[in-house]
Amino acid sequence: MKMKEIIVVEGKSDTIAIKRAIGADTIETNGSEISDSTIEQIRLAQDRRGVIVLTDPDYPGERIRRIITEMVPGCKHAFLPKTEALAVNNKGVGIEHATDESIRKALRSVREEFVDEAAKVTWQDLVDAGLVGGTNAKSRREQLGILLKIGYSNGKQLHHKLKMFQITYEEFQRAMQCVFQEEENE
């Protein structure tokens, strides 16, 4: 798998994992306090080759993703489910713990960022699907994030991601049917 885009990761261990899995070029943010010079590198990479953001599936990783989205619009995003990024001892989560195949799979499912204020999936759709409030909301959002390959989000972030990645109402409905079927099978 050859990548034209430069992949933005959090640190050196992530770069090693990416190079092992696909041999792509990376930019490291070195944590969630992204420097101005790193943002400038990401902007240059976006202008010249394109950028794919692949951060850890945890709060700091999502924070980094939000900062990049705000500062460098138009990036592509790849998401790795937490279950595929757990350390062997389950004491940590990160790209560096993922298998080569999990990394390649995430990069094959890249989502393009696009901000369109005409929401295809409404806030009421999220409420009706039991994705905000209620006892199963968090687990439903986790499963939906995996199925749509957009990562985990709280309710407000989920609504934003659905718009940003132009998830159609039909895609949302199909994914929610799978979520409900899984709940019934448990």
> Per the structure block, which two tokens stand in for 106?
């995430």
Rounded CA separation 16/28 (Å): 11
Rounded CA separation 66/36 (Å): 15
Q: What is the pLDDT of residue 148?
A: 94
Rounded CA separation 144/152 (Å): 8
- From residue 175, give the alpha-carbon distance in Å to each of 36, 58, 146, 147: 38, 22, 9, 6
Q: What are phi and psi of 180, to 5 degrees?
A: -65, -40
- From residue 142, give the alpha-carbon distance in Å to each of 3, 45, 152, 163: 28, 31, 5, 17
- Residue pair 106/148 in contact (Cβ under 8 Å)? The answer is no
Q: Which domains does the chain have, with CATH numbers?
A: 1-113 (3.40.1360.10), 115-186 (no CATH)
Look at residues 48, 53, 47, 57 and name the one whose alpha carbon lies nearest to residue 153.
57
Rounded CA separation 85/95 (Å): 6
Q: What is the pLDDT of residue 147?
A: 94
> Per the structure block, which two tokens stand in for 94?
């990160």
Q: What is the pLDDT of residue 115?
A: 54
Rounded CA separation 164/51 (Å): 16
> Per the structure block, which two tokens stand in for 181?
């079927």
Residues of the chain with pLDDT under 50: 117
Helix (H) or strand (E) holding 111: strand 111-112
